């Protein structure tokens, strides 16, 4: 199984790695088989699984069964559970109680939280829970940030300070979302823990994509994503073919029929 020590070693060796989101058993099994070392059960399940507009309405009770499905389905990947909005901000004790639920009830191997909540990170790490940080565009704060905009252009020092504080608190890795490439490179050089970019250019230690963006299911994918396949078109044409065969009386054929 991939461990946080393996990820630290990859940074030391200058070897880049990939992380994908996953929200259920099939993609977890497939991405694990493909050798993706880290799977994130992101609160992006809000807009990619639950049909919400953004990540804000997602609850712990919604993410727990998704995390359990992913954790049950991997052989090697490290499974990171996203702590949803409202489940950690009020302090270290709440962050610990929520994370314990993801560990005990869902089998997560690590948690991720947005922002420089350093006291919460320290509490989790000292309780044996590996923590992934997340700065830059933090979608749970989209209303505070005034939209899905690139972060760190006006005050890069604040972002660098947040990254260092999160590392000092004990996080094992940090997501940099929608950050100018030069700033992401600088943070990556100044931290000893791996940086994971999304919309942060090509200089981070790792890259993460939301799986539905990465494989062409998302209707209007964000600029930061690349679609490696067009599953939306595949599924539409497959569904049409199935419906056509049913109306023509061609499905099921002998091959799918019991006598």
Task: Write out the residues near ligand KIV by the rule CB under 6 A.
Answer: 21, 40, 42-44, 82, 134, 175, 198, 208, 210
Q: What are phi and psi of 36, to 5 degrees?
A: -70, 120
Nearer to ligand KIV, 2 or 21 (CB): 21
The catalytically annotated residue of 33, 177, 181, 241 is 177
Distance CA 188, CA 24 (A): 31
Cis amide bond preceding 252, omega within 30: yes
Query: To the nearest whole angstrom, how small is the minimum distance from the Cβ of residue 19 to ligand KIV?
Result: 8
Query: To the nearest whole angstrom, how small is the minimum distance from the Cβ of residue 115 to ligand KIV?
Result: 12
Q: Treating both helix axes as pointing N-terminal to C-terminal, what angle do 92-106 and 118-126 enclose, rounded to 10 degrees?
A: 50
Query: To the nearest whole angstrom, how small is the minimum distance from the Cβ of residue 244 to ligand KIV?
Result: 36
255: which DSSP letter? Answer: G
Q: Is 177 one of the annotated active-site residues of the chain?
A: yes
CA quadruple 135, 139, 142, 144: dihedral sign: negative
Nearer to ligand KIV, 157 or 163 (CB): 163
Q: Pick from 76, 165, 168, 162: which is nearest to 176 by CA?
A: 162
Nearer to ligand KIV, 29 or 82 (CB): 82
Query: To the nearest whole angstrom, how small is the minimum distance from the Cβ of residue 140 to ligand KIV?
Result: 9
- The gap from C-alpha 240 to its chain's centroid, in whole angstroms, comes to 32
Inter-residue contact 159 to 138 (CB < 8 Å): no
Nearer to ligand KIV, 129 or 198 (CB): 198
Nearer to ligand KIV, 185 or 200 (CB): 200
Looking at the DSSP bridge assignments, the partners of residue 197 are 176, 207
177: which DSSP letter? Answer: E
Residue nearest to ligand KIV (CB): 42
Strands (DSSP E) found in the chain: 17-21, 38-41, 78-82, 110-112, 131-136, 173-177, 195-198, 206-209
Furthest C-alpha separation in the chain:
72
Query: To the nearest whole angstrom, how small is the minimum distance from the Cβ of residue 243 to ligand KIV?
Result: 33
Active site residues: 177
């Amino acid at each position: 199984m991939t461990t946080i020590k393996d990820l630290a070693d990859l940074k030391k060796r200058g070897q880049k790695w990939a992380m994908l989101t996953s929200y259920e058993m099939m993609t977890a099994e497939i991405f694990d088989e493909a050798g993706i070392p880290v799977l994130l059960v992101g609160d992006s399940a809000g807009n990619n699984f639950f049909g919400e507009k953004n990540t804000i309405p997602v609850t712990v009770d919604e993410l727990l069964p998704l995390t359990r499905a992913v954790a049950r389905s991997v052989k090697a990947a490290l499974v990171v559970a996203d702590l949803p909005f409202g489940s950690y901000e009020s302090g270290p004790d709440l962050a610990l109680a929520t994370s314990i639920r993801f560990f005990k009830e869902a089998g997560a191997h690590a948690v991720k939280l947005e922002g420089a909540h350093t006291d919460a990170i320290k509490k989790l790490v000292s309780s044996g829970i590996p923590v992934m940080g997340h700065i830059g565009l933090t979608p749970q704060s989209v209303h505070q940030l005034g939209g899905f905009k690139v972060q760190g252009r006006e005050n890069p020092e604040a972002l660098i300070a947040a990254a260092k504080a999160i590392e000092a608190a004990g996080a094992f890795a940090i997501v940099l979302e929608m950050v100018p490439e030069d700033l992401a490179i600088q943070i990556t050089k100044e931290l000893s823990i791996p940086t994971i970019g999304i919309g942060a250019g090509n200089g981070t230690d790792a890259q993460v994509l939301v799986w539905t963006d990465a494989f062409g299911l998302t209707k209007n994918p964000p600029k930061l994503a690349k679609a490696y396949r067009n599953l939306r078109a595949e599924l539409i044409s497959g569904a049409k073919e199935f419906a056509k065969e049913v109306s023509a009386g061609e499905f099921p054929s002998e091959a799918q029929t019991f006598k």
